[in-house]
Structure 1
Amino acid sequence: MLSTVVDYVSRREPGLKRPSWAHLSSSGVTPAASLRSLPTSQNPPPEIELTPRDAPPPAEDPEYRLPDRTSLFLMIATNAFLQFSFFVTVSSASAYAESLGGSALFSGLTIGIPTVFSGLMLIPLKKLDQGRYTRPLRMVWFSLILGNILHAVAYQAKFLYLILIGRMVTGLGFTGFMYTKRYCSDPRIVGIRRRTTLATWLVLGQAFGFSAGPFIGGLLYKVGFSNKVFNGYTSPGWVTSSFWVFFAIASTYLFRDLPKPHRLFTSNSVEAPPPTTSEPEPQFSITQLTAQQWGIIASMCWSSMTCFFILGAWESNIPVFTASHPSFHYSPYSAGNFIALGGIATVPFLLGSIRYSPRFQDRTTLAVGSAIGSLGLFLTLICLLTDKIVFASLYISWFLVALGFNLASTCTLSLLSKQFSGPEWNVRTSLAIQYSNYAGRVTGAILGGAGVSMGMRNYVAVQIGVVGVGALLHMTFWKELKAKTG
Structure 2
Amino acid sequence: MQGFRLPSTVFNIARSRTGLPSFRDGAATHNTQADETIAAVVDEELKLPKLSSLAIILLANVWSQLTFFIVVSSSNEYAAHLGGTATFAGLVIGIPTAISGLTLPFLTRWDQGGYKRPLNFACACQILGNILYALAYRANFLYLILIGRMVCGGGFTWFMYTKRYCSDPRIVGIRRRTTLAGWQVLGQGIGFSAGPFVGGLLFKVGFGNSVFNGFTSPGWLMAAMWAAFWVAVQVFFEDVPCTVSSAIPLQPITASANKDNKALDEAAISEVPEGSRSPSPSPSPSPPPAPAFKMAPNQVGVTLTMCWFAMLCFFVLGAWESNIPVFTGSDAPQNPFHFSPFAAGNLIALGGACTIPFLLLNLHVARRVQDRHTLAVGTAVGTAGLVLALALLAARRVAYGPFFVAWLLVALGFNVASTVTLSLLSKQLPGEWNGRVSMFIQYSNYTGRVTGAVWGGAGVKVGMLGYVGLQLGLVGIGCVMFMSLWKNLKAKMG
Aligned residue in 2 for 1:403: 412
Alignment of structure 1 residues 5-404 onto 2, 5 Å: 59=40, 61-260=43-242, 278-280=245-247, 285=292, 288-324=294-330, 327-404=336-413
- TM-score, normalised with respect to structure 2: 0.80
Q: Deviations over 1:269-314 (max 9, x none)?
A: xxxxxxx8x343665657x322221111110001001111111111
| Cα displacement (A) at 1:393 | 1.7
Shift of the 104–126 alpha-carbon distance from structure 1 to 2, 3 Å rule, reads same
Match of 1:451 among 456, 459, 466: 459
- With 174-183 and 321-330 compared, the bigger mean Cα shift is at 321-330
- TM-score, normalised with respect to structure 1: 0.82
- With 450-459 and 391-400 compared, the bigger mean Cα shift is at 450-459
Q: Distance in 2 between matches of 1:389 and 1:454?
A: 18
Aligned structure 1 segments of 4 or more residues deviating by more than 4 angstroms: 281-286
Q: Deviations over 1:336-370 (max 9, x none)?
A: 21111101111111111100122111111111101
| Cα displacement (A) at 1:103 | 3.5
AA at the equivalent of 2:403 = L
Asked if the contact 1:67/1:190 (under 8 Å) is kept, the reply is yes
Q: Distance in 1 between matches of 2:456 and 2:142?
A: 20
Shift of the 321–103 alpha-carbon distance from structure 1 to 2, 3 Å rule, reads farther
AA at the equivalent of 1:305 = M
Asked if the contact 2:169/2:247 (under 8 Å) is kept, the reply is no
| Cα displacement (A) at 1:461 | 1.7
Q: Distance in 1 between matches of 2:233 and 2:484?
A: 44
Q: Distance in 1 between matches of 2:395 and 2:461?
A: 19
Shift of the 304–285 alpha-carbon distance from structure 1 to 2, 3 Å rule, reads farther
| Cα displacement (A) at 1:389 | 1.5
Q: Please say if 1:413 is aligned against 2:458.
A: no
Shift of the 378–284 alpha-carbon distance from structure 1 to 2, 3 Å rule, reads farther
Q: How many residue pairs get matched?
A: 416
Q: Distance in 1 between matches of 2:470 and 2:87?
A: 17
Asked if the contact 2:318/2:448 (under 8 Å) is kept, the reply is yes
Aligned residue in 1 for 2:271: none
Shift of the 469–162 alpha-carbon distance from structure 1 to 2, 3 Å rule, reads farther
Q: Distance in 2 between matches of 1:102 and 1:466?
A: 34
Q: Distance in 1 between matches of 2:398 and 2:73?
A: 20
Q: Deviations over 1:378-421 (max 9, x none)?
A: 11111111111221121111100000000000000000000012
Q: Distance in 1 between matches of 2:197 and 2:436?
A: 35
Asked if the contact 1:218/1:335 (under 8 Å) is kept, the reply is no
Asked if the contact 2:378/2:417 (under 8 Å) is kept, the reply is yes
Q: Distance in 2 between matches of 1:94 and 1:459?
A: 22
Q: Which runs of 5+ in 2 are unaligned?
A: 4-35, 250-289
AA at the equivalent of 1:385 = A
Asked if the contact 1:152/1:238 (under 8 Å) is kept, the reply is yes
AA at the equivalent of 2:490 = K
Aligned residue in 2 for 1:264: none
Q: Deviations over 1:18-59 (max 9, x none)?
A: xxxxxxxxxxxxxxxxxxxxxxxxxxxxxxxxxxxxx9xx65
Task: Flag the structure with larger Rg.
Answer: 1
- With 397-406 and 451-460 compared, the bigger mean Cα shift is at 451-460
SS in 1 for 2:74: helix
Q: Deviations over 1:429-458 (max 9, x none)?
A: 111111111111111122222222332222
Q: Distance in 1 between matches of 2:214 and 2:292?
A: 52
Q: Distance in 1 between matches of 2:200 and 2:210?
A: 18
Q: Distance in 1 between matches of 2:246 and 2:174?
A: 10
CA RMSD of aligned residues (A): 2.1
Asked if the contact 1:221/1:332 (under 8 Å) is kept, the reply is no
Aligned residue in 1 for 2:255: none
Q: Which runs of 5+ in 1 are unaligned?
A: 4-54, 262-275
Q: Distance in 2 between matches of 1:153 and 1:464?
A: 42
Shift of the 290–281 alpha-carbon distance from structure 1 to 2, 3 Å rule, reads closer
Q: Distance in 1 between matches of 2:135 and 2:145?
A: 8
SS in 2 for 1:90: coil
Shift of the 379–434 alpha-carbon distance from structure 1 to 2, 3 Å rule, reads same
Q: Distance in 1 between matches of 2:131 and 2:452?
A: 25
Aligned residues with identical type, % of pairs: 58
Asked if the contact 1:63/1:192 (under 8 Å) is kept, the reply is yes
Q: Distance in 2 between matches of 1:106 and 1:184?
A: 35
SS in 2 for 1:159: coil
Q: Distance in 1 between matches of 2:160 and 2:123?
A: 15
Q: Distance in 1 between matches of 2:231 and 2:86?
A: 37
| Cα displacement (A) at 1:104 | 3.3
Q: Distance in 1 between matches of 2:100 and 2:197?
A: 25
Shift of the 451–390 alpha-carbon distance from structure 1 to 2, 3 Å rule, reads same
- With 356-365 and 394-403 compared, the bigger mean Cα shift is at 356-365
Asked if the contact 2:92/2:145 (under 8 Å) is kept, the reply is yes
